[in-house]
Structure 1
Amino acid sequence: MQAAIVHAFGSPPGFGTVPEPAAGGEHEVLVDVLAAGLHPRVRSGADGSHYTSDGVLPLVPGVDAVGRAPGGELLYFVALDGGPGTMAERAVADRRRAVVLPPDADPVAVAAAMNPAMSSWIALRRRVGFRPGGSVLVLGATGGAGRLAVQIARRLGAARVVGAGRDERRLAPLHALGADATVQLDDTERLAATAADVDVVLDYVWGPPTEQAMPALLRARKDRSKPLSWIQIGSVAGAEIALPSALLRAANLTLLGSGQGSVTTEGIVAELPSLADAIPSLAMEALPMPLDQVEQAWSAPVEAGRRIVLVP
């Protein structure tokens, strides 16, 4: 079958032929792939930098897809661990990692939004006991997943949502997506004044911006004993921070991550139906491209709020 193929880390995948995978277990089914999103998680897996990478080449990239099962069902599914990816004509779907979509669902729209939306949805639903009426700060709100995080926080009942990002031009549209306030990420003083008393921080940046924002927010809190859950999701600004021990003693701060390994597969799959129902109401523009143009797709510039989707 035809597929995208990574032959060398650091180079875009090429288009070629690979053996067709075979469904093995009782829950597995071979599906015709209709659409597979080109997510940052796909890119990091394809260049070997993701923490789950085993370094084995060649590989078929892709972490999720929408496909058609032999019986005609439309499925959104997450790729099997250690198996071929989803950027191919066919892939194996495990029904325990899949959700049946309505017959009229748009495969390209679902493939574009489910993965980036999952990051904040799982964080708020599975990593903390977020309740309606709480408040959320999104660090990195001008990126694709961050824009969705603003919308999802509001959908899950947040009474106040603050979006922080580097690109001032991209901050203004966040108000129409549900943000009550927006702040430049490097304006630490204003960030602290605007978001000091939030209940949850969804952190897509980490690195130096978090290193500066965390102490500023904690010192500005009116009641430092009020719980603050800081959820580390992405690290676009750096993989590490320096964390003074005094911060953990001087405030009721809980640091936790949300990603593969921190939530069980069963826990993630349990959230897929409700997230799939929410997808049509979320603003994420899908940009479909043919699978045989995967090399061009890899280097194509994409604005925040848009996601390339490869279509076999």
Structure 2
Amino acid sequence: MHAALVTSFDRPPQYTEVPDPEPGPDEVLVHVLAAGLHPRVRSGAAGTHYTSDGALPLVPGFDGVGRTEDGRRVFFAGLHAPRGSMAELVAVPAGRLVELPPGLDDVTIAAAMNPAMSAWLALRHRADLQPGESVLVLGATGNAGRLAVQLARHLGARRIVGAGRDATSLEVVHRLGADAIVPLTADDVAERLAREAADVDVVVDYVWGAPTEQALAAVTGARSDPAHLLRWVHVGATAGPTITLPAATLRKTNVQVSGSGQGSVSPEGMVGAITELATLLPQVRPAVDVVAVPLREVAAAWEARTASGTRVVLVP
């Protein structure tokens, strides 16, 4: 079969022939229809993701849409190197297959499911967002952040604040359902965060690093009731892998910091979230800009510059 193959962490995957996968016990052979080029996929192919073991070669790809040999259209996720989804065929554990209802095309699902899952796991499974609560999305201008805004609204959030660096994309976030937006590049960002998000119940954090330090100080320092629980869920680290957390922050406010990702959520929890989203996404109609690229052009797609908020999906 044809697949994308990573033979060096210093260059993009190359389109080549590799042996067909041989399904093991309890695995199902899936004909791949679409596979998203997500940040998670890029970091895995660069050997920088926290799950990487540094072994090469590998076929990149964490998830995808495919069709089983008995004709079912399915979504699958949680693949581990060296067997990824950027190939014509992949062997998937039967327990990780989620049958897809009609309503969205293969490419849209491949583009939306991964960022939607990160948002859904954080909001529903880690923070347990309840109707009437309020949310701050840090890093709201990317695909995942935009979907976090849409899904928070679907879950009944009373107030949603979106914060991000790109002013133009923030206007899109506002149109998608954010009640207030905060540019993280503003000189008075701390004051704006304190004013707009002082009493939020949940923070979904895609940025970490210095912006999180600033936001955490601004939000916890401005709460009208410091004892009211603030659930801060870390999902991504686009601004840096570490923060400095003053000890006093944890004593003067009731803040609960947790993470959401591989390891903090069980494989069964991941499958459960995908199953929920498979039904939910056709109702939400996710706003995702997608560029579909033939798998044979994977090297060019890997290095191409795309607009903020645009997802690349490879199609065998």
Q: TM-score range by the shorter chain?
A: over 0.9
Moved over 4 A (4+): none
In the TM superposition, 1:77-226 aligns within 5 A as 77-102=76-101, 105-186=104-185, 187-226=189-228
Match in the other structure for 2:293: 289
User: What amino acid is the match of 2:235?
Assistant: I
Match in the other structure for 1:252: 254
Distance 1:107 1:77 in 2: 12
In the TM superposition, 1:293-312 aligns within 5 A as 293-312=297-316
Assess, with a 3 A threshold, how the Cα gap between structure 1 residues 167 and 105 changes in structure 2: closer, same or farther.
closer
Distance 1:78 1:241 in 2: 30
Matched, 1:37 2:41: no
Distance 1:20 1:153 in 2: 41
Match in the other structure for 1:62: 61
Alignment: residue pair count? 311
Q: Percent identity?
A: 57
What stretches of structure 2 of length at least 5 have no aligned partner? none
Match in the other structure for 1:266: 268
User: What amino acid is the match of 1:288?
Assistant: A
Distance 2:235 2:79 in 1: 21
Distance 2:5 2:52 in 1: 15
Matched, 1:234 2:233: no
Distance 1:68 1:104 in 2: 16
Assess, with a 3 A threshold, how the Cα gap between structure 1 residues 104 and 158 changes in structure 2: closer, same or farther.
closer
Assess, with a 3 A threshold, how the Cα gap between structure 1 residues 161 and 104 changes in structure 2: closer, same or farther.
closer
Distance 2:233 2:307 in 1: 25
Distance 1:83 1:46 in 2: 10
Q: CA deviation at 1:104?
A: 5.9
Distance 1:128 1:262 in 2: 13
Match in the other structure for 2:13: 13
Match in the other structure for 1:276: 278
Secondary structure of 1:213's match?
Answer: helix
Q: CA deviation at 1:16?
A: 0.7
Check the 8 A contact 1:138/1:146 in 2, yes or no.
yes
Secondary structure of 1:231's match?
Answer: strand
User: What amino acid is the match of 1:294?
Assistant: V
Distance 2:127 2:164 in 1: 23
Q: CA deviation at 1:10?
A: 2.6
Q: CA deviation at 1:304?
A: 2.9
Q: CA deviation at 1:102?
A: 2.2
The TM-score, its normalising length taken from structure 2, stands at 0.96
Match in the other structure for 1:75: 74
Q: CA deviation at 1:189?
A: 1.0
Secondary structure of 1:120's match?
Answer: helix
Secondary structure of 2:226's match?
Answer: coil
Distance 2:40 2:314 in 1: 15
Q: CA deviation at 1:81?
A: 3.2
Check the 8 A contact 1:79/1:86 in 2, yes or no.
no
Secondary structure of 1:33's match?
Answer: strand
Distance 1:294 1:159 in 2: 42
